[in-house]
Amino acid sequence: MGHATDDSANAVHSVGATSSAAVNAAALDGTVAGVVKAVDSSVVEISASSGSGKATGSGVIITANGQVITNNHVIAGAQQITVTYATGKTATAQVVGTDAKKDLALIKIQGASNLPAATLGDSSSVAIGDQVVAIGSPEGLSNTVTSGIVSALNREVTVPVETGQDQNSQGFGNGGSQGGGDQWPFSFNGNQYNGDTGSSTTTYKALQTDASLNPGNSGGALINMSGQIIGINSAMYSDSSSGGSSSSSAGSVGLGFAIPINTVKADLATLQAGGTN
């Protein structure tokens, strides 16, 4: 994958870390606007294409040399991956590692350097009622910002292990793709949402938020008011009718889920080593 040899370029910034390529912490002032100023440039739109279609999702830059964390279902089966920065500039990327059981993937932006790497927080310190900000690319609308609170902790969310491309559920369920399609299916408490998860599934504990998440937010950032990433947005319930409804008719009802960032951090070494769990 052409990894950089500069250790600082490969460094993942966790709480307390500093770097010239880290987010603009000086912008943080306790407001949503401050969080956006600090973190927005660390979130990218991801377009993943294959012979069966195109998936649109989001990702979070975690190293200065272009490592980006996202959901596995955004990029699974992709033959070509393009990222779009907050500035509108585009670049190509390649898959480094995947973990379908956790719905996580790591991609690498080709030729990248000195990018604004997000600071990864500590999801074990998150409390119900904490204010959060979500940044992603719903319906292909790059770097859209919404806000809300953490509604619950440790929700057991079940999602398909099969690739989104194979299921025709593309990038948070076909968000931003050329045609209509189902939302990315998931289940919790024994109930199915956005369709059928199928027979091959995986379950993870998630943060629940009422911040508005829509098709295309998959892989995007859930951020605390200190500008730290506390989760990777991964599933949402859409109050749209089933069967042939377009993604544009699907709207958030304030029931979204994010993979806790501590789960991501625990998986990073495996992903960076090219793991394909």
Residues assigned a catalytic role: 73, 103, 218
CA–CA distance, 102 with 146 (Å, rounded to integer): 24
What's at 217, amino acid-wise?
N
